[in-house]
Amino acid sequence: MGELKTDIFVSTQYLSGFGSEFTSEDPRRPGSLPEGQNNPQRCPYGLYAEQLSGTAFTAPRHENKRSWLYRIRPSVIHKPFQKLDAAKYLTHNWDEQEPDPNQSRWLPFDLPPASQSVDFVSGLHTVCGAGDPRSRNGLAIHVYLCNASMDKKAFYSSDGDLLIVPQQGTLKITTEFGLMEVSPNEIAVIQLGMRFSVNVEGPTRGYILEVFDGHFKLPDLGPIGANGLANPRDFLTPVARYFDEEIPGFKIVNKYQGSLFVAEQSHSPFDVVAWHGNYVPYKYDLSKFMVINSVLYDHADPSIFTVLTCPSTRPGVAIADFVIFPPRWTVTEHTFRPPYYHTIRDDITSRPVHLIKELIAYHPPSRATYLAILNEHTHYTRHVGDAIYRMQYGHK
């Protein structure tokens, strides 16, 4: 079961849909996906059957998430985990800093110098968060800053789903389910317990929204109807691609209760030949977001720009929302139009990070902008430029 010596990301393929029941097998091993049952006495090609559960076994059927993976070696074959201090800026202890009710803004975090090799895991920095992964409640927002690929290393989170937003540089992600290539203006979601490795081709930066409870889903559309916002068919899941490699000293890094742990094994964990299920990694091209907006006067609430939401146990209240303000037309009459976009001419201020604290902070435009808008003729205009993203915490 050797790997073909080719550029594996040249012809990356995907399955289309959100929350669907998918099936996939590597074409190099036809018939590797068992038919008619999940756990046969003898799997094809001597593979091992493993179930990866994203919910409790008894979760309601419409919420139940699981996938069956058929792999060359059981994933349990590794040495014991040991504490790892690779990402010193990764934390879940919000008491490390004094509370601050003021709006916060950061310039882009500095990329590592060329003289220093930093991969995706070592380059994780926590910006803010709420709740606690130990109690399975809340979220964390991180940035990643790296300039090197993960060599003989894989990572997974036992704390929650990771929504990854590249800002600079393309991520070439190898997962147990297959390959994904994720560029700026795309997002990827790698769910709890899924192992992956990230390759980069230069200085790379982006954001991560990690939710400690539940999973991301598409928001309800209500009166919008059957179509709109992020359409299910535009979400892409990788197809099976296995690697049968003996790799002594391969490291598995696990984020568990906010800390990192590492275990070694002697083979690649990406040896899944076939799989089926609805608990999968996926990506989405944000340029395909169908924008809904007011066409006469006033503003619809920013919830109409929600791409994905992670619901809480309270109806209508999310643990987190991922929201995008994309290029769009504004046509409202006799209406004050907030400046969702502005021109940025220097890379040092590209894509700054904003933190708006709930209930106690306001985020109006500047005084000069306010006065200019008051005297602006409200003809139709098109907002262009890079999309603005918002990661919003709503659970109380």
Strand partners, 354: 105
Domain borders along the chain are 79-271+280-286, 291-393
Residues in the chain, pLDDT under 50: 1-6, 339-352, 356-362, 396
Q: Please tell me the predicted confidence (pLDDT) of residue 389.
A: 62
Full-model pTM: 0.88
Which CATH class, in words, describes the domain spanning 291-393? mainly beta
- DSSP codes of every residue in 239-274: PP-----EEEEEEEEEEETTEEEEEEEEE-S--EEE
Q: Which residues are annotated as a binding site?
A: 342
Helix (H, G, I), strand (E, B) or coil at 286: helix
- Which top CATH class is 79-271+280-286? mainly beta
Q: Is 299 a catalytic residue?
A: yes
The pLDDT score that the predictor gives to residue 92 is: 85
Residue whose tokens read 């928001």: 219
pLDDT computed for residue 240 by the predictor: 97
Q: Which amino acid is at 49?
A: A
Looking at residue 2, its pLDDT comes to: 39
Q: Report the pLDDT value the prediction gives residue 87, as an integer from 0 to 100.
A: 73
Tokens of 161: 């789903």
Task: Please tell me the distance from the alpha carbon of residue 25 to that of residue 4, in angstroms, as a whole number.
Answer: 16
Which tokens is 364 given? 């109006």
Q: Of residues 299, 334, 363, 383, which has the active-site annotation?
A: 299
pLDDT at res. 346: 40
| Interatomic CA distance for residues 259 and 227, integer angstroms | 41
Same fold? 79-271+280-286, 291-393? yes
